[in-house]
Structure 1
């Protein structure tokens, strides 16, 4: 049996005053001994986990040391992205390794693809 945890949809308002209700979840990301708390959008339609540039910097990742280019699509297609593997912890679950497309986008939202979080 797989243990579960429910996360409620959360209402957020953007800088233009537009409100939306989306599935956000608290996430602790770690890169070695450096950790940061963040809120991630659980996007079941995404094909890749996306990490904003500033969060990678907070975790002391070095852009120039990431050598795997990632091609993004959609509204992030014009931004360069590189592969970065981090440890992620959600709620009471054990930490797991998450592969991200670390993008130079200044957006502050982390996008997590649902299938990346399933552990049997």
Structure 2
């Protein structure tokens, strides 16, 4: 991975010891004049990026003005979700357009999933070292 940046896994509950460490990525979300610093859970099993309701509000979104809905699955299936597009900045990398399912769920972490975080970034996990590395996707020419 060229130009990769390493990040540590972070502990969510010290009582659980090493089992509590998770790959949370610090990033900045930008929407017009709004900017929010967040940590997103890297989740290779998540189909989509998920934006918690409160962060969408901080970015200036209004629920009723978002007209494209989608259905979430799993433990978020009971909540409505709307599609929003945000600029995401990871470290010193160029801003990247990220598509989120903005959910009305309030007790959910920001999730970075297959669509479209793992399409835009290459990630390598070093779980035994409690680290992960990330870089923008490689451009492949035919």
- Whether TM exceeds 0.5 here: the answer is yes
Question: TM-score if structure 2 supplies the norm length?
Answer: 0.77
* Residue matched to 2:79: 79
1:7 aligns with 2:7: yes
1:43 aligns with 2:47: no
Secondary structure of the corresponding residue to residue 5 of structure 2: coil
1:55-97 C-alpha deviation (Å, 9 max, x unpaired): 0000111111111111100110000000000000111111101
1:2 & 1:47 partners in 2: Cα distance?
Answer: 26
1:115 aligns with 2:118: yes
RMSD of Structure 2 on Structure 1 (CA): 1.8
Question: TM-score if structure 1 supplies the norm length?
Answer: 0.90
Equivalent pair of 1:12/1:21 in contact (CA under 8 Å):
yes
Runs of at least 5 residues in structure 1 that lack an aligned partner in the other structure: none
1:18 & 1:68 partners in 2: Cα distance?
Answer: 40
* Residue matched to 1:103: 103
| TM superposition outliers: structure 1 runs of 4+ over 2 Å | none
Specify which structure has the higher proportion of helix: 2
Secondary structure of the corresponding residue to residue 79 of structure 2: coil
Runs of at least 5 residues in structure 2 that lack an aligned partner in the other structure: 122-136
1:11-66 C-alpha deviation (Å, 9 max, x unpaired): 1129xx76611100101001111101011101111110000000000011111111
Equivalent pair of 1:88/1:97 in contact (CA under 8 Å):
yes
